[in-house]
Amino acid sequence: MKFKLTISIDTKFAKEIEESLNVDNVNLPEGMEIKTFSSSDRLIIEISIMYKSPSSLLTLRNTADEILQQIDASMKITNTIRDSLNTKKDHV
């Protein structure tokens, strides 16, 4: 049996966040697969894992939690940079 979790986020920075996530998609647990897709304003992440034991579900949940934390950090960074650039434009 295979479990799949899909995360969909609307953001102007979908491509940038996708690229930052793909760097970390290495050395995944056995049976796990992570796919990312982005358009101009939407990021979709699909995480799937083969069910071997109850711990497989915990691994899926923990992976999703880590990805959401990375997305949150990436969005905070991009918003800070955007705000900083806008502030500089206002002072020029």
Q: Is 18 helix (H, G, I), strand (E, B) or coil?
A: helix
Mean pLDDT to the nearest integer, 44-71: 95
User: Residue 1: pLDDT above 80?
Assistant: yes
**Domain around 25:** 2-91
What amino acid is encoded at 36 in this protein?
T
Task: Judge whether 50 and 56 are in contact, CB under 8 Å.
Answer: yes
At 70-85, the pLDDT tens digits run 999 988 988 888 888 8
Tell me how far apart the alpha carbons of residues 86 and 42 are, in angstroms, rounded to a whole number.
23
Beta bridge partners of 36: 45
Instruction: Tell me 12's DSSP state.
Output: T
Count of structural domains within the chain: 1
**pTM (predicted TM-score):** 0.81
**Residue 82 pLDDT:** 80
> For the domain that residue 79 is a member of, what is the CATH number?
3.30.310.50
Neighbour tally for 61: CB within 10 Å: 14
Q: What is the pLDDT of residues 7-55, one digit of tens each?
A: 999 998 899 899 888 877 778 889 999 999 998 899 999 999 999 999 9
pLDDT band (50, 70, 90) for residue 86: confident
| Mean pLDDT within 46-69 | 95
pLDDT computed for residue 87 by the predictor? 77
